[in-house]
Chains A and B, each alone.
Chain A
Amino acid sequence: GAGVSQSPSNKVTEKGKDVELRCDPISGHTALYWYRQSLGQGLEFLIYFQGNSAPDKSGLPSDRFSAERTGGSVSTLTIQRTQQEDSAVYLCASSPRGTGGGKLFFGSGTQLSVL
């Protein structure tokens, strides 16, 4: 399909391990977002890319979290030395441009469980 694709759909890891989460946005969408959805919580903004640059990374919770985007397409969110509080659904979304007046297209998310 032509939607936003995220992988893996589920990831179980041990505390202290590093994980990488991948997002393939809709082709041609220049804006890409990462959000986190914890149990019982709303959607927490993590980082926003326009092309390959990240003008807003204000939501990254700590320096254990990083993200990159290459070729204006695929993005990877990396969490180093995972902690139990990192357990959540990580959502990726893309849009043709910034969200002012536009809408985001979301992937189905990666369920991360840190044991």
Chain B
Amino acid sequence: GDSVTQMEGPVTLSEEAFLTINCTYTATGYPSLFWYVQYPGEGLQLLLKATKADDKGSNKGFEATYRKETTSFHLEKGSVQVSDSAVYFCALSGGLAQGAQKLVFGQGTRLTINP
């Protein structure tokens, strides 16, 4: 079935550092790809998405490019802030596997930014 694998955390960085959180997927067909974020004490919310190959999703300074050739959707930010501390989840939906209407999530990566 469809699956998502993301880089294990926790990740700790200093403010203004460059961030990459790796995400790779396995899916049949042409899934849509998402990054969700869970800030402390809050519910999950969509950060960005891409619906086809070579699309770049972006939001709040974060970017991720849908790479079909490497089945990846790595999350990047050029200069992180303390307020970016959260748990980040990579997800996919819409593959051809049974149950294509659900989101399949990775295990999450906890990010902590120190001032």
- Chain A residues near B (Cβ < 8 Å): 4, 31, 33, 35, 41-43, 45, 48, 50, 55-56, 58-59, 91, 93, 98-101, 103-104, 106-109
Do the beta carbons of A42 and B103 come within 8 Å of each other?
A: no
Tell me whether A103 and B46 are in contact in the complex, defined as CB-CB below 8 angstroms, given that A33-B103, A42-B107 are known contacts: yes
Do the beta carbons of B94 and A99 come within 8 Å of each other?
A: yes
Query: Which of B42, B102, B106, B107 meets A99, CB within 8 Å?
Result: B102
| Residues of the A chain whose Cβ atoms lie less than 8 Å from the Cβ of B99 | 45, 48, 56, 58
Could you give 19 example pairs across A and B, Cβ below 8 Å?
A33-B102, A41-B107, A42-B106, A42-B107, A42-B108, A43-B103, A43-B105, A45-B102, A45-B105, A48-B102, A56-B99, A58-B98, A91-B44, A99-B32, A99-B93, A100-B101, A101-B94, A104-B46, A108-B42
| Residues of the B chain whose Cβ atoms lie less than 8 Å from the Cβ of A55 | 101
